[in-house]
A and B are shown apart, each in its own frame.
Chain A
């Protein structure tokens, strides 16, 4: 039985649900832009402020690659958010120290690591194709906070795994 239900939990649950929907919308929009850029290249890139020419070809290809990488983050975000929702469920049920949650945290840590690596690749592509005439301003690259989150999540997953074993020990003690 959960003893006390702080408001943070229902809020977190709603926020996570909203983020899952937003992630789907983000994926759909990226897919639409990528599809349009292939179906009607000139119109799409003109709308994005990049007239297609031999000079802007690397930029066009770079933007496509960035969109494709962005698309790759959709299932990763979804995997992370779904696991977080499952974890919130266990907390609300009053039983968060279970092996499943340790595994979920471990998986989230790997997803965060993958997202950081993708961010670095996007930054590198942006740097390579950006020109003074058409500069690319991307919110990507090395993020100390992001990498700290990766390390913290790996550590937390380990703490959860050990905590679960300790609880199992305690439950088996007469």
Chain B
């Protein structure tokens, strides 16, 4: 994906664990882990809002567009 998720850096700066964030925004640890590792296909506005509210950041602090990074184009079904 050309979009990088910088959740790891934000958590590190806030001295917060992924588990703690998951509990505070009421999202499963598994789903949050998918987001953190960049495996998510999409993010809901409600999730983004909750993360930004808890981490006291802007969406731009969490997501970054990296033009040089390969875009993982999903295969279209026949």
Contact = CB atoms under 8 A, between A and B. Distances in A.
Interface in A138-174: 161-162, 164-165, 168-169, 171-174
Interface stretch (B12-20, B38-46, B53-61, B63-71): B38-46
Contacts of A164: 77
A84 interface: no
Contact of B35 (A99, A171, A174): A174
Contacts of A172: 34, 39-42
A174 B31 contact: yes
Contacts of A103: 77-78
B44 A174 contact: yes
Nearest to A106: B78
Interface in A91-105: 99, 102-103
B77 A102 contact: yes
Contacts of B47: 174
A103 B77 CA distance: 8
Nearest to A161: B77
A173 B77 contact: no
Contact of A174 (B27, B74, B78): B27
B78 to A, nearest CB: 6
A168 B42 CA distance: 11
Given A174-B32, A174-B47, A169 B77 contact: no
B40 A174 contact: yes
A106 to B, nearest CB: 6
11 contacts: A103-B78, A162-B77, A165-B74, A165-B76, A168-B74, A171-B41, A172-B34, A172-B39, A173-B44, A174-B32, A174-B34
Closest 7 CB pairs of A and B: A172-B41, A161-B77, A173-B42, A174-B35, A174-B40, A174-B31, A99-B77
